Amino acid sequence: MEINLDDVITLKKIHPCGSYDWKVIRTGMDIRLSCLGCGRQVMLPRKQVEKSAKKLVKASDA
């Protein structure tokens, strides 16, 4: 799965705020995600994000 900056991805597990969708705000070895429901930011290893991603909702227009 190719994950780029400003992509919106849906994860398998729900966030405590009730949202499944996250926006990618940093890429590299680790990926920083921002919850679209509450704005919380988390940084996860790329491998973990690729494993827990359900689908790519919106790809960035680059």
Query: Is there a domain that residue 44 lies in?
Result: yes
Given a contact cutoff of 8 angstroms between Cβ atoms, the answer to whether 58 and 50 are in contact is no
Residue 16 domain-assigned?
A: yes
For residue 38, being part of any structural domain is answered with yes
3-state SS class at 50: helix
Query: Tokens for 23?
Result: 């926006």
Amino acid at 43: M
Per the domain annotation, does 34 fall within a domain? yes
| pTM for this model (two decimals) | 0.87
H helix or E strand, kind and range, residue 47: helix 46-52
Residue 48, phi then psi, degrees to nearest 5: -70, -40
Q: Is residue 3 part of a domain?
A: no
The domain total for the chain is 1
Distance CA 12, CA 5 (A): 20
What is the domain range of residue 28? 8-58
pLDDT of 2-53, one tens digit each?
A: 899 999 999 999 999 999 999 999 999 999 999 999 999 999 999 999 999 9
Q: Is residue 1 part of a domain?
A: no
